[in-house]
Amino acid sequence: MAQLYFYYSAMNAGKSTALLQSDYNYHERGMKTRLLTAQLDNRFGEGRIASRIGLEKLADTFNEDTDLIRWFEQSPDVNCILIDEAQFLTRKQVDDLAVIVDEKNVPVLCYGIRTDFQGELFTGSERLLAIADKLTELKTVCHCGRKAIMVVRMDEHGNALAEGAQVQIGGNERYVSMCRQHYYEALRPK
């Protein structure tokens, strides 16, 4: 029986690496997968899932208007769907993924960040936390050694930002994963 999985974390926990490893495992067994990533995250090129350790693979892309049922119907003979940057999915898209799991018996593995730099849930993450069959937290660490659960957005001078648009694409140059204590300390006015 297929299930809807959500692997979530703060940044730099190895979500893309884990996704690419799962993809490799399916292919090693002679199975077919489809990969999907957010169109707006083109740091490594459009439609490219890349990990910090050098693994990468091409993928289809989605935006808020992508009809995932129609996308699935273009290649319905897959054994698994793997989605990177799942926090950017809409509520309807997550519900459509559940339909694919339940009605087509195809497992869907979603990987994404749970909360934004203000500690608020992303829409896709919120819906996945609500309806996924399996939830798995991938862990990373704060500079103090404790588990990092928050993400701090930094300006060009290394100062933590408390305001701004929810989505601003960036990597290590813009975001730092921290434990809750250091997250709040970083945001305190100096």
Least confident of 14-28, 150-164, 165-179: 165-179
DSSP string computed for 118-174: TSPBPHHHHHHHHH-SEEEEPPEE-TTSSEE-EEEEE-TTS-EE--S-S-----TTT
CATH code: domain 4-138 is: 3.40.50.300
Q: Any idea which of 29-33, 98-102, 112-116, 167-171 has the lowest mean pLDDT?
A: 167-171
Percent of the chain whose predicted confidence (pLDDT) is above 70 = 91
Q: Which of 35, 6, 187, 32 is nearest to 111 (CA)?
A: 6
Q: Give the pLDDT score at 175.
A: 84
pLDDT of residue 155: 82
What does the mean pLDDT of the chain come to?
90
Catalytic residue numbers, as ranges: 85
Bridge-based pairing state of the strands 108-113 and 80-83: parallel
Q: What share of the chain is helix, strand, coil (3-state, %, to 5)?
A: 30, 25, 45
User: At which residue do the structure tokens 């495992």 appear?
Assistant: 25
pLDDT given at position 11: 85
Distance in angstroms (rounded) separating the CA atoms of residues 130 and 176: 26
Chain segment 59-98, per-residue pLDDT in tens: 999 999 999 999 999 988 999 999 999 999 999 999 999 9
| Separation between Cα atoms, residue 170 and residue 173, nearest integer Å | 7
Q: Which amino acid is at 58?
A: L
Is the model's pLDDT at 16 over the cut of 70? yes
pLDDT at 109 (0 to 100): 98
Q: Is the pLDDT of residue 173 over 90?
A: no
Does the pLDDT of residue 153 top 80, yes or no? yes
- Domain layout of the chain by residue ranges: 4-138
pLDDT at site 189: 74
| pLDDT in the model for residue 42 | 63
